[in-house]
Amino acid sequence: MDMDKGKRKMGTQQQSRANDICAHCREKGHWKRDYPKLPPRQDVCGPQITQARGGFSYFITFIDDHSRYGYVYLMRYKSETFVRFKEFRLEVENQTGRKIITLRSN
């Protein structure tokens, strides 16, 4: 965990399930596609009553429902949200080679 930068990465990479699918399902396309249509989602939480080391009172999560990868970024102020999103976008686009077009939020 890299607390100095206020972020933590967690999750596991999704394994290929092509061998676990029966021939009929594979023929009809009943499995998750390689390129999901749902965008990643994010949520901002805080302010927390007790601050984390370094004075972090907020955190933001980004979750990709397809791969189940999750990213958590710690923030001192809620106004850092867009900066953390740009860090997340850069990291994901560098790792996957694909661009984030939309982001779901509540």
pLDDT higher than threshold 50 for residue 2: no
Q: What are the sequence ranges of the domains in the chain?
A: 7-11+19-105
- Residue 104: its pLDDT value, please? 85
Residues 29 and 98 sit within 8 Å (Cβ to Cβ): no
What is the percent of the chain with per-residue pLDDT over 90, rounded to a whole number?
A: 41
Q: Is 70 helix (H, G, I), strand (E, B) or coil?
A: strand
CA distance 45 to 26: 40
CA distance 59 to 26: 40
How would residue 1 be classed by pLDDT, with cut points 50, 70 and 90? Answer: very low
Reported as a single tens digit per residue, the pLDDT across 47-83 is: 999 999 999 999 999 998 777 789 999 999 999 999 9
Residues 64 and 56 sit within 8 Å (Cβ to Cβ): no
**Higher model confidence: residue 95 or residue 30?**
95
Q: Is the pTM higher than 0.75?
A: no
